[in-house]
Structures are given as C-alpha cells and as structure tokens.
Amino acid sequence: MIWSVLLSVARGFVMGAADIVPGVSGGTIALIFGIYERLIESVRAGSSALGNLATLDFAGFKRWMGRVDWLFIVPLGTGILLAVVALASVLQHLLEEQAVLMAALFMGLVAGSIVVAWAMLKSRDTKHIWIAIGIGLITFIALGLRGGTSEDTVGQILDPQLWAFFLAGAIAICAMILPGISGSFILVLLGMYGPLLNAVTTRDFLALGVFIVGTIIGLALFSQVLYQALRLHHDTVIAALVGLMAGSLRILWPWPQGVGSTAIGAPNSDVLLAVLIAAAAFAVVIVVARFAQRLEASDQDTPTLA
C-alpha cells in the first residue's frame, strides 16, 4: 500500500516536471509509466460524479465517486503539485542556460514515448500507420507557423477578459493529458501564459478562479470524450497520439535554440553530448516502460477501460 502511494507520488512528480516544459506533456509521461488509461478512467469517473452533483443526483454522485481510484489519483496529483512548486524555476533556468542539452534530453524522452505508445497498438495495419503519419505532419507544420515558444515570439493578450481565462483553462488542461504537447505551450500560443502568471503574482483570485473553473469543465468534458474514444477506437486514438508526439518533436529539436524555437537548424554545438543524452533518455524510457508494464500487470486492483 505505502509503496504504491509513494510510486504514484513519484510518477506525478515526473509528470508535473514535464508539464512545465513547452513541447512535453504530462500525458507523455503517463504513457511511459503505463498509467495513461488508468488516469483517464479515474478522471472520467470524477467528472461523471460532478455531472451528477450538478443535477442533484446524489446517489449517482456517490456511485461515481466510489469508482475514482483515490489511492492512485490523490498521490499522483500531489506529486504534480510538488514538481510545479519545486522545479518550475530550476527547469526554466536550465532551459535558458543549457538549451541544447535540455532539448536533447526531452527529445529522447518523447522519442522513446513514441515507441512505447506504438507498442500499445493491438493492430499495426496500414490505416493506423497513415493516421500517425497524417497527424504527425499536421502537427509538425502547425507548430512551424509559430517562430518560438515564448511570449517574446508569440505575443500575449493585454488585459484579457474573464472569458479568456476560462477558455484558456479549458483548452490548456486538455493538452496536459494529451501526450505530445504541454499545457504551458498551449497557454503561450493562446497569448495567456503571461496574463496567467501575472494573475498569480498579483493574487487576482477572480481571474484565477475563472481559470480553474475552465480547467475543471474542460477536463470533465474532454475526459468523457477521450475515455469513449479509447474504449471504442483504441488503436485509432493511440495512432493519433503517436502522430501528435512525433510532430511535437519539432519543438524539441535542439538546434538552434532548444525548446525556445520551432525552427529546424543544423547541429552546431554540443553535438556529441546532445546525441548521447538523447540516446540515454530514449533507453531510460524503454527500460522504465517495461518495468512499469510488469508492475501494472501485477497490480490486481488496476482498473481497466470497460
């Protein structure tokens, strides 16, 4: 019991660290650890409970709350929050000072995640190959429409309305559970990363409250859609996620500016070290994924999509 809780906290910590980095998603880490579908199941149960509560169906609320894997989801959320608090400034510093090497590290992690996700397919036929290629190309091209991943290159909304905070929360939270792209980068693309940080520093509780409501509603709706999609069209969804992660590698290409740019340049600095770091990260993902699969398989209490 204690080991399982501590393991979930550790998984959440790594997921939270990933969500801080533009181009990396906590959903990617959940795939590596073999807990992605388990996570979606618990989130979906929680959102169903909230839906019943909103309609004053207290019996349904109690029933769905009982289906939430609390011993999994609470430690996981705790780990995510701990990572955001403890690592935000450290990772941002490293991304600026060691841009190439950090991008190589995360590129290796995501590349390994693509292999892990592809192995989840029950049928690797031509259809799923083309889905992965198509989504990958669309994502790659779409990311190239923006020159960078910061407010300096993308711009931001000045004095946004409350509805903008709501919409940003609803969209960004979806990205956080989708492998391939981080919620922080989505906020940058929406021009809401700066305003949200400003709301935090100025303690604008109204704006923050609206943002949180947006995340709750967005997560509740999206988790239902994603759950049904995984249950009914598992391989198609996984193939699409593979394409999404592959296309997002554009942000993580180390040269010329690491994750700070979506430009693709020729290797020109720290080439050997960057390649070694990426290869090591790739290998770690494969090893961790295999270990996680064995661990999850031995856990008889793990819920499944049904």
pLDDT classification of 154: cutoffs 50, 70, 90: very low
pLDDT classification of 135: cutoffs 50, 70, 90: very high
pLDDT at position 302 over 50: no
Between CA 122 and CA 117 the distance in angstroms is 11
Between CA 226 and CA 69 the distance in angstroms is 18
Residue 100 lies in a domain: yes
Domain span holding position 268: 2-297
User: Cα 196 vs. chain centroid, distance in angstroms?
Assistant: 19
pLDDT at position 103 over 70: yes
Q: How many domains does the chain have?
A: 1
Work out the average pLDDT over 158-162. Answer: 78
Between CA 75 and CA 15 the distance in angstroms is 12
Between CA 91 and CA 57 the distance in angstroms is 44
pLDDT at position 294 over 80: no
Per-position DSSP letters for 139-172, written without gaps between them? HHHHHHTSSBSSHHHH---SS--HHHHHHHHHHH
User: Cα 157 vs. chain centroid, distance in angstroms?
Assistant: 24
Q: Could you check whether the bond before residue 256 is cis, i.e. omega within 30 degrees of 0?
A: yes
Handedness of CA 262, 266, 270, 274 (dihedral sign): positive
pLDDT at position 151 over 70: no
Comparing 16-20, 58-62, 78-82, 237-241, which segment has the lowest mean pLDDT?
16-20
**What is the SS3 assignment for 41-81?**
HHHHHHHHHHHHHHCCCHHHHHHHHHHCCHHHHHHHHHHHH
Residue 154 lies in a domain: yes
Residue 165 lies in a domain: yes
pLDDT at position 280 over 50: yes
Residue 212 lies in a domain: yes
Residue with more model confidence, 1 or 246: 246
Work out the average pLDDT over 260-270. Answer: 81
Work out the average pLDDT over 32-59. Answer: 85
- Residue at 177: amino acid letter: I
Residue 303 lies in a domain: no
Work out the average pLDDT over 154-177. Answer: 78
Which pLDDT value is given to residue 305?
47
Helix (H) or strand (E) holding 115: helix 99-119
Which pLDDT value is given to residue 306?
44
Residue with more model confidence, 185 or 203: 203
Residue 302 lies in a domain: no
Other CB atoms within 10 Å distance of the CB of residue 130: 12
Which pLDDT value is given to residue 300?
45
Residue 305 lies in a domain: no
Residue 148 lies in a domain: yes
Comparing 202-206, 226-230, 253-257, 289-293, which segment has the lowest mean pLDDT?
289-293
pLDDT classification of 297: cutoffs 50, 70, 90: low
Handedness of CA 225, 227, 228, 232 (dihedral sign): positive
pLDDT at position 95 over 50: yes
